[in-house]
Each structure stands twice: as structure tokens, then as C-alpha cells.
Structure 1
């Protein structure tokens, strides 16, 4: 089932499966979200929860027990409930269950809210800890933007001039090896060679928004004011680019597997609520 929201500028469609954004069109029927062609990547914009990226050995330890959890967690594979719907907004929810607690032993509610305002789509995350103890988690976005034509016609404009140092992945884990992006005037020209070793992982950036340009014309701006980490990714020869604001990232190659000690992990107290949002602006 698909839920549609719209305003005078944009129309968005969201699947109940994964509460996944699958379409964002303007009034000229220009589509900005990747169509999910499985020949390249069969997703559009999955929600990453309760982990971002990959765990070492796809497992972690908590309170003396070991649990298995596959990459990016389980939220993207769950059917959400539509709990609120207006013309320009929709809110979706999942809650813990016995089946989930076998993989993630916490009681929680996760809400995803989509809201259209002017020429922007705001995506809000709300995590409620219903456990009688602290709850560790990560959460992140994975929107894929459709890029038609020649990939090398596109570039990324970072908000601020800063050293663009990113960590390399090693067998899907964060390695200690880093590289620098060439970014004259905060601009990075896209080429598939940048992604030969998978995603670019930025543990720390001053920039809190970046813009996709085609032939120097701005198209899309992603704003992530509270998100501390960022991933940028595509597949070789695929006509899309993912810009991924995160709270957390993959285990490091030296990870102990203790979830409470995981680098980048978020921890909320019993009864507390975590909230964050990012936005996609059509320019």
C-alpha cells in the first residue's frame, strides 16, 4: 500500500513497507527519487534502524548475551502502521514485538513523519524508549536521488569550505584509512571512481547541507542540521546518488561487539524520546 501526500509544489509517495519514500515529484512530473530498479539497487530511501551500516560478524553483545542483526537493521523490512494522515503530511509507526526482541531486546516505538512545506519534504524521526533501562540505537536515512544523463555532469556543493576527509570501508566495516576529497570552492565533481571502495563515510563535517548540481545548476539540497555523520554512495554505473544523514555508522574493524561501547551509538534513558529531522529541498 502507498500513501500519497501533496501540496501546491510537490507530491510524495510513501510505502507502508519500511515507511519508505518511493516518489517525490514536482508539478512538472519530474521525479527526484530513484525508481528502485533491482538491476542496480532495489530500494528507494530505506530507514536505517536500530543500526546504521554493518556490525562486525553481523552480531553484537548486550547484557552478557549475543544477538544477530543484519546490515542497516530491521525497520526497512517491516510494515509500518499509518497513524496520522493530512493532505501534506503522514506519520508511520512500528513497535517492538517478541520477534524483534530476539534480535534487539528493547521495547520501543519508532515514528517516521513526512511533511511537505513549500518546495521541501521534511522527514522526522521519533524514537521512544519504553524499556526500563537505557536503550542504545543508531538511526539514519538512505535516500537515493535519480540522476539522468551523464553522471559526470553532476557535482556536490558542500555548505562550508572544509577538509573533506572520509573513512574507507574494509569488508563493510570502518577502517582507519582515510582519504581527502578534492573540493575547490566546496565543490566535488562526481565520478564513479570515487565509489570504487563503496560509500564515502564522513564521521565529522561542519557542513550541515549539501546541494546536487547538474552542469552547475542547483537541483536538490539536503539539509541535516542535527545529524553528526554522513554517507554518500552509489553503485558503479548506476544513475542515482544517495546522500545519507546518520546518527551512527558501521562497526570499526577493531570493534569489541559491545553495543553500549559501539562508536557513534546513541543512548536514551528509560521513558525518554529522541527526535531529529532532515529535509529534501527541490530547487
Structure 2
């Protein structure tokens, strides 16, 4: 079932499967902001990454001596969420642990995702609560794909990303979907990264030390601009599929396994721990100009 929110500026659509944002339309221009999800390139649009971000070494982890399998980016994007409440400008999705999740993730949890429209801005808020009797270990990430307009004489290379607080980016290359300990440096000109398809020839740009909490995706040839902000996500990824007309801006609380990780969940880089009844909050927002 599809859920929709709308005000005078924006119209947003969501799928109960994965509580995924699948459309965000600028009503003043009629432009679609979110990637179409063409499976020939990438079938996702804005999946929720939980309770892991990225790949695990051997697609598994160890907790208290037991080995558990976990798919890349976790299982939330493949689960149907309940609609906890909704109004014209806001909807709250909810996912709770169940018998199925406990087989490969031995924790009780409650995950709420709230989408709110305010004028020309969509805000996405997350709340993870530990409903277990013991400590809860998890990661959470966002993966929104933004459409790149290549019609009417426009090109992918006409776009760029401006960073609020970075002069350069320290990138961790991916090796078989795992994080390399080595880093590569991308120097920015005026805090700006030009978009090219070649930029993602080796997969995503993964950053663990990025300072910026505001990024602006903009077109050099017109006034199209997407202002992306986020809080309580220390890591970040930027990615696009080969020759596809989109770019993903991905705030993360947690990353894929480091290449030599021992697979112990409690020792995973970036993993979060919640005590019983404790919760964690994070958010991101996109403003259309």
C-alpha cells in the first residue's frame, strides 16, 4: 500500500514495504526529486539500512559465541512496516522485532520512522528503542537516491555537490564491499565536488571524518537545488550505479565491516549500543529550491 503526504509545495509517496520514500515531487515545477528505481541500474529509491549498514564480512557476525547471517544493509528494507499514525503532512511508520527477525538478530527492538512535510522541506526522523532485556547493538543508515535531470540538453556533469565545512574528502575504498583501512584524498575546489560517472567507478565514496552536515546538490545550468542536512550521523556515503542518472547522499550511524574485522558484533567499528529501554534518534532533511 502506498501512503502519500502533500502540501502546497511538495507531494511525497511512501511504500509500507521498508517504509521507503519512493517519490518527492516539486509541485511548482512538476519535477520528480527521487530516483525512479529502474532495476536495470538500481531498483532501490530510498531504503532504510537497519540493523546493519553495508556488508558484513562473510555476510555474518558473531554475538556471544553464536554466528548469525545478515544480508547487506540489514533486513528492514525487506520488512513491511505498520503505519502508527498519519495526517496530511506527517506519517509515522513502525517496525518491531518478531519471531523471524530474532532468528538472525537476537534483540528486541522498536524502530520508528517519521516523515514530515513543512513548506518545501521533507524531514525524516528515526527513533530506535531497545525493548530487549539486554544491551542492543545496531547501526542505521539512510540511502536516498536523488534524480539527476539529463533532459533538455542537461548532462550528469552539469551537477555538483557543495559541502558546508570540507576542503577535502578522505575516502575509504571498498574492497569486495568491505572497508579498507587505507584512505584516498579528494581535494575540493571551493568546497565543491563535480559529479561525474567516473567518480563512482570503484563503488561508493565512504567517509568517516567528513565535517559537513549540510550538502547542496545543484545544477550549474539552472536554478535546480537540493539542500541536504542531517544530524547524529557521523559517517557518510555518496554513490551512484554505473552510468545511472542519480546520486545517493547517505548519512550513516555505522559502516560496513573493516576488511580485517574479527566479525564480533560488539567490536564492530561504528556499532551503537543501547541499554534496556534506552533509545537513539537521528534525522535528515531535504529542502527543494
TM-score (norm 1): 0.98
How far did 1:161 drift?
A: 3.5
**2:11 paired with 1:11:** yes
Question: What is the aligned partner in structure 2 of residue 20 from structure 1?
Answer: 20
Alignment counterpart, residue 159 of structure 1, candidates 158, 164, 180: 164
Q: How big is each residue's C-alpha offset from its partner over 1:24-74, in whole Å with a ceiling of 9 and x where there is no partner?
A: 011132100001011111111000000000000000000110100010000
**2:194 paired with 1:182:** no
**2:270 paired with 1:269:** no
**2:8 paired with 1:2:** no
Question: What is the aligned partner in structure 2 of residue 191 from structure 1?
Answer: 196
Q: Does the CA-based 8 Å contact 1:162-1:206 persist in structure 2?
A: no
Q: How big is each residue's C-alpha offset from its partner over 1:226-248, in whole Å with a ceiling of 9 and x where there is no partner?
A: 21000000011100000000000
Q: How big is each residue's C-alpha offset from its partner over 1:171-196, in whole Å with a ceiling of 9 and x where there is no partner?
A: 00001221112311001111111111
TM-score (norm 2): 0.96
Question: What is the aligned partner in structure 2 of residue 250 from structure 1?
Answer: 256
Q: How big is each residue's C-alpha offset from its partner over 1:8-29, in whole Å with a ceiling of 9 and x where there is no partner?
A: 2111000000000000011132
SS at match of 1:184: coil
Alignment counterpart, residue 227 of structure 2, candidates 221, 226, 229: 221
Unaligned stretches of 5+ in structure 2? Answer: none
For 1:6 and 1:226, locate their aligned partners in 2 and report how far apart those are by CA, in whole Å. 27
How well do the aligned residues superpose, as a CA RMSD in angstroms?
1.0
For 1:183 and 1:218, locate their aligned partners in 2 and report how far apart those are by CA, in whole Å. 21
SS at match of 2:187: coil
Unaligned stretches of 5+ in structure 1? Answer: none
Matches within 5 A, 1:95-114: 95-114=96-115
Matches within 5 A, 1:44-55: 44-55=45-56
Structure 1 residues 167-176 or 220-229, which shifts more? 220-229
Count of paired positions? 283
For 2:17 and 2:264, locate their aligned partners in 1 and report how far apart those are by CA, in whole Å. 30
Q: 1:218 to 1:164 in 2, by over 3 A?
A: farther
For 2:237 and 2:224, locate their aligned partners in 1 and report how far apart those are by CA, in whole Å. 20
Q: Does the CA-based 8 Å contact 1:209-1:225 persist in structure 2?
A: no
